[in-house]
A and B are shown apart, each in its own frame.
Chain A
Amino acid sequence: MSALVATEASTPTELRDLARTIGRDVAAVHAADVDRQARFPKETIDALREARLLGALVPVELGGLGHDVRQMAAVVRELGRHCASSAMILAMHDSQAACLTRHGDTEPLRAFQRRMATEQLLIASATTEIGIGGNTRSSSCAVERSGGRFTLTKQAPVISYGEYADAVLVTARRADDAADSDQVLVVCERSDDSTLGLEPISGWDTLGFRGTCSRGFTLTATGPESSVCEVPFGDISAATMLPVSHLLWSSLWRGLADEAADRARRFVQKAARRDLSTIPPGAQRLAELQVELQQLGASVEHLLGRYTAVQDDPEATSSLDFMISINTLKVNASTAVVDVLNRAIIICGIAGYREDSEFSLGRLLRDAHGAAVMVNNDRIMGNTARLTLMLRGEQ
């Protein structure tokens, strides 16, 4: 039996075991209900809190666990097998947490990180904006500053788990006269000297990832000016938000693919045991599925390695080569997970198609289809296409 609380020294393997315990005992128990009702997976997030995993990325000296993206990837991957919505919430939380722990280098922002760890705060994000068209590197709303205070209003088409978050990281133009791309990241929360209002403007009744409760909101916030992280958001995006979110999402989809492959494996082996004289027809397809699964895993592991090697070198993380690679990972992994699911459902046949069998793949398949459309692959490929115009043949 593994420990139920993560520590500074937890290895990726121990974290996977911990995530497996939470996944089996909590996330899997509620996953169907979370999906059916499109409700917040409160039980799982509470369990992650109890395991201290919401503060995992906060440095040790600020009371966190000082984990890196590879350790978080292990947790997200395992959790993704049991409840993809819960895993997505953790992945998004971690992507935001990483922005603050890696770039929030002021005393007030460090104090906030300390609270993230001690109070196990859940952090959401509001990066897109109505009228901007999904481009996170452009804002129309602006931070208004006066007398050491800020106010901010943003029409956000999506704030995943916004109603359940303790704080929201919001992108906005640095000031009223700043360019659309001259953005900062603002910590918006409810506290003694901060207010955060979220007025819902849309619902979240979707095919998959229903538990992320990714409604749209009109967000209004006030607080001390020190809640504004003054580091250019473009730098944060290139060095942290984009690579960490792509790595964690891809790890989550890998977890979904792991689970589908495992159900297909159990199905094939059950058939093999029934008739020991032949190899069941699904075995050939299972072998083919392993090829896809291995490629997916290799590509996630490769980019986790590359990112951890260069994460503190802003030139390297904003290099053409790396940007193309990290974009390609997202597109590749999100396509591969659907492919694995499609193969698994053919292998499991009607048992996989049914909603009431141990081999059911319906929810997994619906969740898998979210991968390509949440931050649309076509948009990412459009960005990558532009980057290829800068590729040189000399390296």
Chain B
Amino acid sequence: MSTSTDQLDSAVEEEVRRVLVEFGKLSVDATTPDSLPSDASLWSHGLTSHASVTVMLGCEDAFDVEFPQRLLTKQTFSSVASIVAAVREVQE
């Protein structure tokens, strides 16, 4: 059970990172945790509120979900891990 959850999480994380690379306009390469740890602050790596909207739309498109209003906060888009958690929450 935990293994499959981990696998799902890592698949989601890979996709979230792809969206961040494409739309996040970050100052670092978001592809791997080496250059952008999962818990690193996206805001201090150059994510703007403008770009966060595109990232949100990119995630909604990639996962075919719609984030509810309560998840559309600065906190949700503060790190790779928090975006992954939000996506997983909506997928449940």
Contact B57 A234 (CB under 8 A): no
Contact A181 B46 (CB under 8 A): yes
Contact A234 B43 (CB under 8 A): yes
A390→B57 CA distance, assembly (Å): 8
Contact B27 A179 (CB under 8 A): yes
A229→B69 CA distance, assembly (Å): 32
Contact B53 A390 (CB under 8 A): yes
Contact B68 A394 (CB under 8 A): yes
Tell me the B7-26 residues at the A interface (CB within 8 Å): 26
Contact A179 B26 (CB under 8 A): yes
Interface readout for A146-187 with B: 1 if CB under 8 Å, 0 if not? 000000000000000000000000000010001111100000
- Chain A nearest CB from B85 CB (Å) reads 17
Residues of A within 8 A of B56 (CB): 389-390
Q: Is B45 an interface residue (CB 8 A)?
A: yes
Residues of B within 8 A of A174 (CB): 44
Q: Is B47 an interface residue (CB 8 A)?
A: yes
Residues of B within 8 A of A182 (CB): 27, 43-46
- Chain B nearest CB from A344 CB (Å) reads 38
- Chain B nearest CB from A212 CB (Å) reads 28
A residues contacting the other copy or chain, number (CB 8 A): 22
Q: Is B5 an interface residue (CB 8 A)?
A: no
Central interface residue in B48, B66, B73, by most chain A CB within 10 Å: B48
Contact A137 B43 (CB under 8 A): no
A386-B53, A389-B53 known; A315 vs B27 contact (CB < 8 Å):
no
Contact B72 A232 (CB under 8 A): no
Tell me the A105-161 residues at the B interface (CB within 8 Å): 137-138
Q: Is A332 an interface residue (CB 8 A)?
A: no
A240→B46 CA distance, assembly (Å): 21
Q: Is A395 an interface residue (CB 8 A)?
A: yes
A232→B50 CA distance, assembly (Å): 16
Interface readout for A307-331 with B: 1 if CB under 8 Å, 0 if not? 0000000010011100000000000
- Chain A nearest CB from B61 CB (Å) reads 12
Residues of A within 8 A of B43 (CB): 181-182, 232, 234
Q: Give the contacting residue for B53; candidates A180, A234, A315, A387; CB below 8 A.
A: A387
Tell me the B22-60 residues at the A interface (CB within 8 Å): 26-27, 43-50, 53, 56-57
Q: Is A392 an interface residue (CB 8 A)?
A: yes
A179-B45, A179-B46, A180-B46 known; A392 vs B66 contact (CB < 8 Å):
yes
Residues of B within 8 A of A137 (CB): 48-49
A-binding residues in B (CB < 8 A)? 26-27, 43-50, 53, 56-57, 66-69, 72-75
A–B pairs, 19, beta carbons within 8 Å: A174-B44, A178-B27, A179-B27, A180-B27, A181-B46, A182-B43, A182-B45, A182-B46, A234-B43, A315-B75, A318-B74, A320-B72, A386-B50, A389-B53, A392-B66, A392-B67, A392-B68, A392-B69, A395-B69
B-binding residues in A (CB < 8 A)? 137-138, 174, 178-182, 232, 234, 315, 318-320, 383, 386-387, 389-390, 392, 394-395
| Additional 14 contacts, C-beta under 8 A, given A178-B44, A182-B27, A387-B53 | A137-B48, A179-B26, A179-B44, A179-B45, A180-B27, A182-B44, A182-B46, A320-B72, A386-B50, A386-B53, A390-B53, A390-B56, A390-B72, A395-B69
